[in-house]
């Protein structure tokens, strides 16, 4: 595994290490953080989150975001892999052991 990148989830203040070879959703789940998701292939947009800082790469050629959304900092964590330290704004995030 390559060196992991630190990720901050706001507004909760939760932190985890994201493996650059896994999606942000997968790394968050391994850390006990539940990010919104449905399809897990970049088409349904249920996981759409705001990237406040840092950068990501996609494991698919055309993630389901418009150019305008990408320019505004929106990402799809189910198919995005970290390429740097990140801050994600995901108010809907919960902990896996917490009731929904």
Q: From CA 84, how far away is CA 57, in angstroms rounded?
A: 10
Sign (positive or negative) of CA dihedral 32, 35, 36, 42: negative
Distance set, CA 26 to CA 41, 67, 92 (Å)? 12, 25, 16
pLDDT of 30 reads 96
Q: Look over the chain and give the mean of its residue pLDDT values, rounded to a whole number.
A: 92
pLDDT of 40 reads 82
pLDDT of 98 reads 63
Confidence of residue 28 (pLDDT cuts 50, 70, 90): very high
Cβ atoms of 32 and 68 closer than 8 Å: no
Confidence of residue 1 (pLDDT cuts 50, 70, 90): low
Residue 48 reports pLDDT greater than 60: yes
Give the domains, in start order, of the chain with CATH numbers. 5-95 (3.10.20.30)
Confidence of residue 17 (pLDDT cuts 50, 70, 90): very high
φ, ψ dihedrals at 71, nearest 5°? -65, -30
Residue 96 reports pLDDT greater than 90: no
């Amino acid at each position: 595994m390559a060196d992991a990148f630190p990720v901050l989830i706001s507004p909760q203040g939760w932190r985890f290490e994201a493996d650059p070879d896994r999606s942000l959703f997968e790394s968050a789940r391994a850390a006990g953080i539940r990010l919104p998701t449905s399809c897990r292939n970049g088409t349904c947009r249920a996981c759409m989150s705001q990237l406040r800082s840092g950068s990501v790469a996609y494991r698919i050629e055309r993630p389901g975001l418009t150019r305008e959304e990408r320019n505004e900092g929106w990402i799809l964590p189910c198919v995005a892999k970290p390429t740097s330290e990140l801050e994600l704004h995901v108010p809907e995030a919960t902990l896996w052991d917490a009731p929904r």
